[in-house]
A and B are shown apart, each in its own frame.
Chain A
Amino acid sequence: MSSAEPLVRCKGAARTYGSGPSATVALQPTDCEIWDGARVALVGESGSGKSTLIHLIAGLDDPTVGEVSWPAVGDRAALRPGPVAIVFQGPSLLPPLNVLENVGLPLALAGRPQSEVQQRAGAALSRLGLGDLAEKLPEEISGGQAQRVAVARAVVGEPRLILADEPTGQLDHEIGAVVIDELLAAAKRCGAALVVATHDTEMADRLGETWRLRSGRLEQGAGVQAWSL
């Protein structure tokens, strides 16, 4: 499902928090595009602006300068649930819903029938080998399991762009590798582009493209189809 238009286009998009002397520039004006099938590792130190860029691309935040658009997808309202899915750094499962309901939530929010929601959520869990956890509550599973469930939730709606903000940041290396494996496999299965913010270079190497951020500035790297102004 390739398109002549990029999935995301940032034109001079920048983000500053606060105002006046205490203002913090989280992201310098940035131009970049993400196309169908891309595998991008967004790397950089803590505070370099990785999460900010992910949030702008996901449409969760607005740039203070410049603009972000989704030419191949539509307007911001059409992003989620649907073409764009996100995996957060910390615990993001809804405590009152069990694992199956958490995974099915994007489908339910998209107005899919309950039977379809359950069937597809169950299938997503099974594909990740998490079928046994379906009836568990988030408080009853480990942090690694929770993050894998979050991956299942991200891919259940077969998005065109999967964004993951430090998905392995709170996991040990072994579990982190499993999560990255699952993200890659899921992206391949859905034919989705994948952007993963990480400070783990080993993980980044597995994605193919690497975009580096330094102090809020996106630097061009090997094979990176991006530029900063």
Chain B
Amino acid sequence: MVALTWIRGLLAHRRSRLLATAAGVAVGVALIASIGTFLSATTSKMTQRAIARVPVDWQVEGQGTVIPAHLLNQVKRYPGIREALPVGFADTTGLSATTGSTVQSTGPGKVLGVPSGYRAAFPGMLRSLSGRTSGVLLAQQTAANLHAKPGTRVKIGRPGLPPASVRVAGVVDLPAADSLFQRVGAPVGAQPQAPPDNVILLPSRVFSRVEGPLARAGSVRTQIHVKLSHSLPGSPSAAFSQVSGEARNLETRLAGSGLVGDNLGSALDQARSDALYAQILFLFLGLPGAVIAGLVTASIASAGADRRRRDAALLRTRGASTRTLVRVALGETALAALLGIAPGLGIALLIGQAAFGTASFGAGAAAAVFWAGGAALAGFAIAAAAIALPAWRDARALTVAGQRREVGRTTGGPWWARYGLDFVALAIAGFVYWQASRNGYQLVLAPEGVPQVSVNWYALLAPVFAWIGAGLLAYRLADLALVRGRGPLGRLVRPLAGELSPTVAATMGRQRRLLARTVTLVALTAAFAASTAVFNSTYRAQAEVDARLSNGADVTATESPGANVGPGASARLVGVPGVKSVEPLQHRFAYIGADLQDLYGVRPQTIGSAGQLQNSWFLGGSASQLMDTLARKPSSVLVSAETVKDFQLHPGDLLRLRLQNSRSKQFMTVPFHYVGVAKEFPTAPKDSFFVANAGYVAKQTGSDAVGSFLIQTDGTSPATVAQRVRGVVGTGAQVTDIVNQRKIVGSNLTAVELSGLTKVELGFALALAAAASGLALGLSFAERRRTFAIARALGAKARQLGGFVWSESAFVTGVGLVLGAAMAVGISEMLVKVLTGVFDPPPDVLSVPWGYLAGLLALVLAAVAAAGAATLHALRRPAIEELRDL
């Protein structure tokens, strides 16, 4: 009954205090529920995307003398199979075609027998480039090698039999060639098999006629390509377990007559490690936000703690028992929580809709209940920690005169400061960080084929302890400045407080707990906002680098292997409208010992600007210095760091590489001299490669054939230029552009989830920073209206009251932001290093989003200015009215 009366009183007379606490609860609830929405949406999306990118779920390969029809029947009977079609695989000794007066021929290749309806059942396997979509189809690269087009007759070499002749109906691309030609049943960890250069696809009927005689010799294999029912669990991990378990079960049923190539399982295998990354990103980026939201709310709520204590003391004098006082506090807690939870969940739904495209807290009902309920519970916990807990603590020891205050002569610092726990936490963070950032560190370990993904949770300790230690240290430093630095503080606030500066400094020193806590909150929120923004910005910068490295230039035309196009072909491309420059780039393979690596031949004088080379991609000199060396000493070569380490190379060492001679087709030894390290290079793979002088390579191998042309545009859209270039090179070269590459890089799962998470985080970070600075200060001023009113009654002018208000504001904002900036630098470095697996390539330097940081600064300053101005505006009322109301 007392509690109800009290709540009515709160609603009537303490609305602002109640609403401020509810607002804090709403922010915390919204943040947690949004993160829940993010996690549920992304893990479910990951499963869906993993499924969507697999063109054939299973490839069941017949073993021994199994009859294909029997195998097909057995597979079709297995539960959950939606589609199963047989595909024949045979080897050819080579293909040949006559165009005009010349005969083109290829090396060995593969002949596939594709049943009718295959394209419709597995649309991701074949992409039509020219001609018809059925009949005899040639792979694009094979068509380029044979100079064949629809209508050309092609002879298929058969071991021990005369070649069979077929007429080409169309040219196709095989986007999933890697999985199509995979070695089914290869042991875990085996090197992936490169797809064949030459492929011809025949209708099943033609395949039987052409390859039928060879089937008896056992050189024809049959695979059953399977599409599964995709009603799988939302979690990639659970979906992986289900699919891989079913694959093993089918193999058991087939009793050795077939092996399952589990493409869907492999995709889900990758997705589950991505999902784990999503959860880790939540822990690293989201959890600090949720904790800070709780702290800000508690701080906002505790701004009214003195008033609550006075209220409780009054109740106690009227005979209220401890139980009654606790009930009253619980009533206020419940009211603030309810007022905060409902809008918090509503805000989360809006955020989910805007950021993740989902208006639900989870993929399923259980997930939705879990996250919505969890967020609501967290909201209640925040309100309880802010209101009920202190009230319960006070109620047990409360006497009318014994009200503890924020203001007071606290001798010595807080208990943790006496034990140096801030330094201990930072030392632990530093130690873990040092260990975690050493070479070979991996945050997420997803061993291929192993059902469980493991996370290096130990590494999480680094940022956890860094946040704790930095927060405590910020409090200690602010406290120290207020207690020990009263003299300097007085001088610092003199421009704002004038002749009252010693009094203002004394006032601030006695409010050390309140001010140090607000400084800590401002520092934490600023550090959270800045470190999240830096992380996000660095990720985006690296994604751009990745896109540029992968594509090589704005537009890249990659010649088919075997095509002998010289650098002179640049002239044709330079003439394409929108092209600014064209840079030919050789691509060869070279043996170093038994290791085969890519070798890129460059024109050192022009590659620097054409490839937009960055200094951070090289060791042993800047990009221009190393290109200069390649120009002056043509036998120079740049080597990957891994090769330098593996082969114990030193600058100037002679390196005997073996490259293929264009005339003899034999590998010959070519001497090079190691001059530097190339960590990254346009179009180069991520592991090992060489960069050499193209002229030297051409001279030594007898061929100046170009692997790709790096085309920079003059500002015209790369997509438009790419289309024009395709018109010039036809199907002979593959043309890619950076816009498309950006989409590919930006649409990978990590990028998608990070983009969504950081979008939400950055928004909340701004709200929290504004709340921690403006709202916390404003409420703290509001709670001290009586003090200000007495000062006014004693004769303080508005300017002098402003001295108190602005000095505190400046101290809290200035010290908080400086400490926050320092924390942000350390936390950002740590986040980027610990989450290095997220970045591709790993960044050398952090990318600082000055625009966002300037916005953050402006928002904090505006919030503080608004809080101060509102306080001073409220103090314009006659002092006696203010005193009478309080």
Cα of A88 to Cα of B510 in the assembled complex, Å? 23
Tell which of A62, A96, A98, A109 touches B500, judged by Cβ atoms closer than 8 Å.
A109
Establish whether residues A140 and B409, one from each chain, have CB atoms under 8 Å apart when the complex forms.
yes
Establish whether residues B510 and A97, one from each chain, have CB atoms under 8 Å apart when the complex forms.
yes
Establish whether residues B503 and A105, one from each chain, have CB atoms under 8 Å apart when the complex forms.
yes
A178 at interface, CB cutoff 8 A? no
Establish whether residues B499 and A82, one from each chain, have CB atoms under 8 Å apart when the complex forms.
no
Residues in B whose Cβ lies below 8 Å from that of A92: 790, 793
Q: Mark B57-81, 1 if CB is under 8 A from A, else 0.
A: 0000000000000000000000000
A207 at interface, CB cutoff 8 A? no
Q: B14-22, B32-40, B728-736, B794-802: which one contacts chain A? A: B794-802
Residues in B whose Cβ lies below 8 Å from that of A120: none
The verdict on A94 contacting B791 (CB below 8 Å), with A55-B880, A109-B800, A139-B405 known, is yes
Residues in A whose Cβ lies below 8 Å from that of B503: 97, 101, 104-105, 108
Cα of A60 to Cα of B405 in the assembled complex, Å? 28
A12 at interface, CB cutoff 8 A? no
Establish whether residues B793 and A108, one from each chain, have CB atoms under 8 Å apart when the complex forms.
no
A76, chain B: closest CB distance, angstroms:
11
Establish whether residues A60 and B793, one from each chain, have CB atoms under 8 Å apart when the complex forms.
yes
Where chain B touches its partner, the secondary structure class is helix
Considering the complex, give the chain B residue whose CB is closest to the CB of A106.
B794
B620 at interface, CB cutoff 8 A? no
A214 at interface, CB cutoff 8 A? no
Where chain A touches its partner, the secondary structure class is loop
Establish whether residues B407 and A96, one from each chain, have CB atoms under 8 Å apart when the complex forms.
yes
Considering the complex, give the chain B residue whose CB is closest to the CB of A154.
B794
For A86, A88, A101, A109, the residue with the greatest tally of chain B CB atoms inside 10 Å of its CB is A109
For B503, B507, B796, the residue with the greatest tally of chain A CB atoms inside 10 Å of its CB is B503
Q: Mark A110-121, 1 if CB is under 8 A from B, else 0.
A: 111110000000
Establish whether residues B796 and A109, one from each chain, have CB atoms under 8 Å apart when the complex forms.
yes
A11 at interface, CB cutoff 8 A? no
Establish whether residues A139 and B408, one from each chain, have CB atoms under 8 Å apart when the complex forms.
yes
Residues in A whose Cβ lies below 8 Å from that of B881: 61
Considering the complex, give the chain B residue whose CB is closest to the CB of A140.
B409
B787 at interface, CB cutoff 8 A? yes
Establish whether residues A108 and B500, one from each chain, have CB atoms under 8 Å apart when the complex forms.
yes
B276 at interface, CB cutoff 8 A? no
A79 at interface, CB cutoff 8 A? yes
Q: Mark A196-215, 1 if CB is under 8 A from B, else 0.
A: 00000000000000000000
B346 at interface, CB cutoff 8 A? no
Residues in B whose Cβ lies below 8 Å from that of A105: 503, 791, 794
A58, chain B: closest CB distance, angstroms:
8
Establish whether residues A95 and B793, one from each chain, have CB atoms under 8 Å apart when the complex forms.
no
A74, chain B: closest CB distance, angstroms:
13
Establish whether residues B408 and A110, one from each chain, have CB atoms under 8 Å apart when the complex forms.
no
Cα of A113 to Cα of B409 in the assembled complex, Å? 26
B879 at interface, CB cutoff 8 A? yes
A128 at interface, CB cutoff 8 A? no
Cα of A137 to Cα of B796 in the assembled complex, Å? 21
A133, chain B: closest CB distance, angstroms:
13
Establish whether residues B499 and A108, one from each chain, have CB atoms under 8 Å apart when the complex forms.
yes
B500, chain A: closest CB distance, angstroms:
6
Q: Within B477-525, which residues are at the interface with A (CB < 8 Å)?
A: 499-500, 502-503, 506-508, 510-511
Residues in A whose Cβ lies below 8 Å from that of B405: 95, 139
A131 at interface, CB cutoff 8 A? no
A80, chain B: closest CB distance, angstroms:
3
B621 at interface, CB cutoff 8 A? no
Cα of A162 to Cα of B38 in the assembled complex, Å? 67
B82, chain A: closest CB distance, angstroms:
75
The verdict on A80 contacting B795 (CB below 8 Å), with A60-B878, A94-B790, A96-B511 known, is yes
A81 at interface, CB cutoff 8 A? yes
A91, chain B: closest CB distance, angstroms:
9
The verdict on A61 contacting B499 (CB below 8 Å), with A96-B787, A109-B800 known, is no
Residues in A whose Cβ lies below 8 Å from that of B502: 108, 114
Q: Give 21 A-B contacts (CB < 8 Å), ordered by A residue.
A: A60-B793, A61-B878, A61-B881, A79-B795, A88-B883, A92-B790, A94-B787, A94-B790, A94-B791, A95-B405, A96-B787, A98-B510, A101-B506, A106-B795, A109-B500, A109-B791, A109-B796, A112-B499, A113-B499, A139-B407, A153-B794
Q: 6 tightest A-B contacts by CB?
A: A80-B795, A81-B795, A96-B510, A96-B507, A60-B880, A95-B407
Q: Given A82-B795, A96-B511, A139-B405, 17 other A-B contacts at CB below 8 A?
A: A88-B790, A88-B883, A92-B790, A94-B790, A96-B510, A98-B510, A104-B503, A105-B794, A106-B794, A108-B499, A108-B500, A108-B502, A109-B791, A109-B796, A110-B795, A111-B499, A139-B407
Q: Taking beta carbons and an 8 Å cutoff, which residues of B are in contact with A?
A: 405, 407-409, 499-500, 502-503, 506-508, 510-511, 787, 790-791, 793-797, 800, 878-881, 883
